[in-house]
Amino acid sequence: MPRFPKPPEGSWTQHYPELGTAPVSYEDSTSPEYYQREKKAVFKRAWLHVGRVEQLPRVGSYFTKDIRAANASIVVVRDRAGQVRAFHNVCRHRGNKLAWTEDPKLDSQGICRQFTCKYHGWRYDLDGALKFIQQEGEFFDVDKSRYGLAPVHCDVWAGFVFVNFAPEPEQSLREFLGPMVTALEGYPFDKLTARFGYSTTIQSNWKLYMDAFAEFYHAPILHAKQSPEKYSAAAAQAGFEAPHYQLDGPHRLVSTSGVRFWEMDADLLKPMEIITRSGLFGPWEKAELGEMPPGLNPAGCDPWGLDSFQLFPNFVILIWSQGWYITYQYWPTAYNTHVFEGSAYFPPATNIRERVAQEMAAVTFKEFALQDSNTLEATQMMLENDYVNEFHLNDQEILCRHLHKVVRDWVADFEGARR
């Protein structure tokens, strides 16, 4: 008997019949050749999240980002009119990387009045216009008005900055995000500015980590050693069921029920959780953020745990009921490696107890994520051996099934359109 009602078709997976229920192959995660196709069909076509507007507080604030999956390096800047713009980070003179500090392979950030190339001093204003050529008289008929920085399509939704590398995006950002994601509008992302940010390189295909955080079937097992034995035993016995899954175009959502840790017996908790009144689900004292947007807690759970919105292709916004949120981003660097960035965002603490509770939540988050990331390497190794290539996904893994299908569909659409 399911703990939560399933759709009339009998399962979440069958509610979306295009997914099928057959075993799946992970060839899309083990092939250098497929990765090249994915780069063109997905990463050079989809809107990609690259940062938050809080990273660009003033006119002239900028940050750079290398996006190897699109063979791109961009600079994102707040221009003189206050708009956020993106450009390819390349000087129009001889192709040098324009904005960088110390090591050109590393991302950088700062504030400037104009961008000056380190090589020969060509200068561009914040709108990308070419303003100065060193020894201009030595050149042959260069029309400065035609050689501004090469623009990248850039738009902002709910304070999240997105770019698109297509010559002409097939959809606006808003159309691309669709109704399920835009129903998050009104969540006070702009007020949750206390950030704990982490980054690491993972030895696996990017989709395997998307999969890992797309299902919680693994949670009571993989993370059993995070908790006192009595809690882990009860969690494993109960297993995991989500009250709600939803697909909308290329994006997907899982919602979970919550846990009232503060009502639990002490032997189910870690002593430091009791002292700090905080843990994996966040501070036990809920941050009051006002009315929540209609897209949250779609199953009306009480207690509600979290909603994880997985935005195609590689960005996740996970909103906890306790008044904080997490983002995950997965940047492929090869078919079997990617850079993972995870951040936890809280309302800025106004007192010690709030701050200590945030510390406990952030440290706990990192320890869980370390276990997740280490496991991916083990999966990637075995998938690449290719002796076994059919794998079963259950109904709680519907979102994994969906991600791989959407990637396949985007590759097929792109390659079909070119024929």
Partner 1 sequence: MTTLLPAEFADLEPFAAKWCLPTEHERYHTRLASTMDEMQALYDAAKPRVTDAMVYLEKLPFDALPEDAVNLLHLLYSTIEVSFPVEVWRQPRVPDTGSASFDCFIEPVP
Contacts with partner 1 by CB under 8 A lie at 194-200, 203, 225-228, 270-272, 275-276, 342-343, 346, 348-353, 355-356, 358-360, 362-364, 366-367, 369-371, 373-375, 377
| Per-residue burial over 144-180, b = 16 or more CB atoms within 10 Å of its CB, e = otherwise | eeebbbeebbbbebbbbbbbbbeeebeeebeebbbeb
Distance CA 403, CA 313 (A): 8
- We find the least distance from the C-beta atom of residue 270 to partner 1, in angstroms, to be 5
By beta-carbon proximity to partner 1, the closer residue of 49 and 252 is 49
By beta-carbon proximity to partner 1, the closer residue of 15 and 270 is 270
- We find the least distance from the C-beta atom of residue 344 to partner 1, in angstroms, to be 10
Distance CA 124, CA 89 (A): 11
- We find the least distance from the C-beta atom of residue 361 to partner 1, in angstroms, to be 10
- We find the least distance from the C-beta atom of residue 187 to partner 1, in angstroms, to be 20
- We find the least distance from the C-beta atom of residue 386 to partner 1, in angstroms, to be 22
- The β-bridge relationship of strands 160-164 and 194-202 is unpaired
By beta-carbon proximity to partner 1, the closer residue of 205 and 297 is 205
- We find the least distance from the C-beta atom of residue 232 to partner 1, in angstroms, to be 9
- We find the least distance from the C-beta atom of residue 312 to partner 1, in angstroms, to be 25
By beta-carbon proximity to partner 1, the closer residue of 127 and 359 is 359
- We find the least distance from the C-beta atom of residue 351 to partner 1, in angstroms, to be 5
By beta-carbon proximity to partner 1, the closer residue of 43 and 346 is 346
Is the bond leading into 348 cis (omega within 30 degrees of zero)? no
Residue 404 CB partners (closer than 8 Å, separation 6+): 24, 26, 28, 207
What is each CA distance from 135 to 37, 122, 138, in whole angstroms?
A: 43, 10, 6
By beta-carbon proximity to partner 1, the closer residue of 131 and 270 is 270
By beta-carbon proximity to partner 1, the closer residue of 21 and 379 is 379
CB 338 within 8 A of CB 330: yes
- Number of helices (H) and strands (E) in the chain: give both, helices first: 9, 17
By beta-carbon proximity to partner 1, the closer residue of 143 and 267 is 267
The beta strand positions in 109-250, using DSSP E, are 109-111, 114-116, 123-125, 130-132, 151-157, 160-164, 194-202, 244-248
- We find the least distance from the C-beta atom of residue 260 to partner 1, in angstroms, to be 21
- We find the least distance from the C-beta atom of residue 329 to partner 1, in angstroms, to be 13
By beta-carbon proximity to partner 1, the closer residue of 145 and 350 is 350
CB 249 within 8 A of CB 412: no
- We find the least distance from the C-beta atom of residue 363 to partner 1, in angstroms, to be 6
Q: How far apart are the first and last CA of the chain?
A: 49
Q: Which of 409, 29, 401 is nearest to 203 (CA)?
A: 29
By beta-carbon proximity to partner 1, the closer residue of 112 and 370 is 370
Distance CA 138, CA 152 (A): 30
Distance CA 313, CA 73 (A): 18
Distance CA 322, CA 327 (A): 15
Distance CA 198, CA 373 (A): 13
By beta-carbon proximity to partner 1, the closer residue of 199 and 389 is 199
CB 303 within 8 A of CB 320: no
CB 124 within 8 A of CB 130: yes
- The β-bridge relationship of strands 151-157 and 160-164 is antiparallel
